[in-house]
A and B are shown apart, each in its own frame.
Chain A
C-alpha cells in the first residue's frame, strides 16, 4: 500500500506548494473557520410570503411538475389517504416501518419495510411515506429517511409515491430548510423547534447523513430537448398537504 500513501502525500504536497505564501491558507479546517465565518452572504435567507401564500406556492410548484396535490384537514388525513389509494387503482403498497398505523388504510396489501429485499419491493405498486420538510420555492420534498420516511430504496423502486406533508413542515426558501435542520453555524443562531417531530438522524445540531431532495418525477431532456417524464424512479408523485395550521421556525403572520 506504499503507492497509495505516497499519492496522498503527493497530492497534499502539491496543494501545499501551490498555496505557499498565501496568508489566508490554514493548516487545519478549524483555523479556516474564522475566514469562513467572515464570508459575505447577502442572499435571501427568509422568504416574505405569508404562511397561506407559502403553502399555495408549494402546491402550485408541485402541480407545475404534474404532482397530484390534495389538501385536507388533520382529522381527514386517514380517509384522504384511503381515498387516494383507492383512486389509484393500485393494490400493493410499501410502507416505512415507522409510518403511523392510522395511515395504513384497510383494503390494501401493505408490505412494511423491515429490510425488504429489492425483488419484494419491485412487486409493490406504490409507496406511502411522510417527509422531513417541503420547500415551496422549488416545490421540493425533502426526505431524511427516518423511520416514517423509510429507506431510500422504497421511494425509488415503486412507480407511485404518496407523500404526506404537513403544512407546518413547509418552508418557503431553501436556506430556511437548512435552518430547519437545526445545524447551528452559518447564521450562528440556533433555531428552536419545540415539537415532537423527529429531526434528521435523531440528532439535533448535526447535519443529516442521508437526504433525498425530490423536485418532480424523474425526467430527461436528453433526446432533442424533449422533456419526458418518468425515466427511473416513481413516475407518479402524489402529495397530501395536511393543513395542520401550525408554523415552525420562521412563522410569519
Chain B
C-alpha cells in the first residue's frame, strides 16, 4: 500500500517530529510512504478567516497535486475537515467542472491518520510502547467534523505501558479556533484556562490529540504556567517503541 503524506503547513514548520513519527509508524506497518515536494497548505486558515479568494488558490493546488495519489494521509483533523466540508462548496462556486470532478474523485482517498490506521489498514495495535499516563483531547474537527468517535481510543488502548486518563468535559472546545486565538485572544485565553482545569486534573504526564493546533494552544498555556505536563501528537505515541522511544520535544 502506498500513502502520500500531506504534512500540513504548520506541522512542516513547527512540528516536524510529528511528520517523522507518521513516516516511522506507517513504514513499520508496511506502508510505502511518499512525500510530494510541491505541497504547502490546504487553505483552511484563509477560508476560516474570510479570505475565500485565497483559499480557492490553495484548494486548487492541493487537488491538482494529489489527483493521482493512491491514498493521502494527513495528521491533522482540521485539514481533513476543510477538504471534506468546505472544498465542495469552494469548487462549486469556482464553477470549474473538471476540478470539481477531480476533487470528487480524490476525496474518498483522503484520510486523517487514525482513520487510515483503523479503517484502511484495519489495525488497532500498531505495536507501540509508551509507558506514561496520558490524556486524550478530542479536537472539535475530529469530534464533530470527522466523527472519529472511538478510533483514537481504540488505538491508544493498545499501546503497551500507556495509562489512559479520561478527560472531563471532553466535548468542550479548547478555545484555539484558528485565527480566533488571536482575533479574540482574551476570550480564547478564558476558554483555555477552563480547559486546562480539566486537562491538569487528569494528572497525566502528557496530553495528546490528533491535531497539533489544539496542542500548540494547550501546550503553550501549560508551558507559560509551568504546569508540569507536556503535549504530544498521537502519531508520536503510536510510533514509539521500546527500541525507538518517542521524540519528546521540550
Direct A–B touching, Cβ under 8 Å: no
A residues at B contact (CB < 8 Å): none
